[in-house]
């Protein structure tokens, strides 16, 4: 099995980039005072997701993140200069690198995959509050005017989403 890095090199050579029509708007419950974040899918990654045969199963990324977070948490109490940096070679290697690639996804499935990969689980899995803190929205619903970007929050009604649909 080729390393994921090599599969990405090949995919970039043969696949045309695909700009996603979606963005993921989310708030981090661990940072309640921060503004909402926007996840922007990469066009080359999206092309690989839609084509299939490149990306590993999402479970491998989730497992790898837990390994790294556990290690970093074990170092957190140390002074910064005494903390060890995480190295995959000391933890048996990243499981997503050589995992069997999965088949093609739809754009909607690719966005759900990306949420699990690039947004912390405390947002999409562990949050138990009443507020809606994450939405998948069409790109045209993201305001192009960033004057008040620092005050963005996830809207609690779905009026704009319903109108867009």
Residues within the interface to another protein (CB under 8 A): 3-5, 8-10, 12-14, 17, 19, 34-35, 37-45, 48, 55, 61, 64-65, 68, 72, 80, 83, 85-89, 94, 96-97, 114, 117-119, 139, 142, 144-146, 149-150, 152
Alpha carbon separation from 108 to 22, 111, 118 (Å, rounded)? 9, 5, 15
Shortest Cβ distance from residue 116 to another protein (Å)?
11
Shortest Cβ distance from residue 142 to another protein (Å)?
6
Between 130 and 152, whose beta carbon lies closer to another protein? 152
58 three-class SS:
helix
Sign of CA dihedral 83, 89, 94, 97: positive
Shortest Cβ distance from residue 43 to another protein (Å)?
6
Between 130 and 146, whose beta carbon lies closer to another protein? 146
Q: What is the Cα–Cα distance from 99 to 165, expressed in whole angstroms?
A: 37
Contact present, 86 and 71 (Cβ < 8 Å): yes
Shortest Cβ distance from residue 108 to another protein (Å)?
15
Between 132 and 152, whose beta carbon lies closer to another protein? 152
Strand partners of residue 138? 22
Residues in the chain: 165
The C-alpha angle 17, 153, 29, rounded to 5 degrees, equals: 95
Shortest Cβ distance from residue 42 to another protein (Å)?
5
Between 9 and 131, whose beta carbon lies closer to another protein? 9
Q: What is the Cα–Cα distance from 124 to 37, expressed in whole angstroms?
A: 13
Between 24 and 130, whose beta carbon lies closer to another protein? 24
């Amino acid at each position: 099995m080729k390393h994921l890095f090599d599969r990405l090199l090949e995919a970039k050579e043969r696949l045309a980039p695909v700009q996603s029509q979606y963005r993921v708007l989310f708030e981090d419950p661990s940072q309640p005072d921060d503004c909402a974040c926007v996840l922007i899918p990469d066009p080359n990654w999206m092309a690989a997701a839609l084509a299939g045969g490149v990306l590993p199963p999402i479970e491998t990324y989730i497992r790898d993140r837990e390994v790294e977070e556990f290690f970093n948490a074990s170092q957190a109490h140390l002074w910064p200069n005494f903390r060890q940096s995480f190295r995959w070679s000391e933890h048996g290697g990243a499981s997503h690198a050589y995992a069997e690639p999965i088949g093609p996804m739809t754009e909607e499935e690719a966005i759900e995959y990306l949420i699990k990969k690039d947004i912390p689980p405390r947002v999409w899995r562990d949050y138990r509050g009443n507020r809606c803190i994450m939405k998948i929205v069409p790109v045209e619903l993201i305001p192009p005017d960033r004057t008040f970007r620092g005050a963005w929050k996830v809207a609690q009604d779905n009026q704009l989403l319903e109108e867009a649909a």
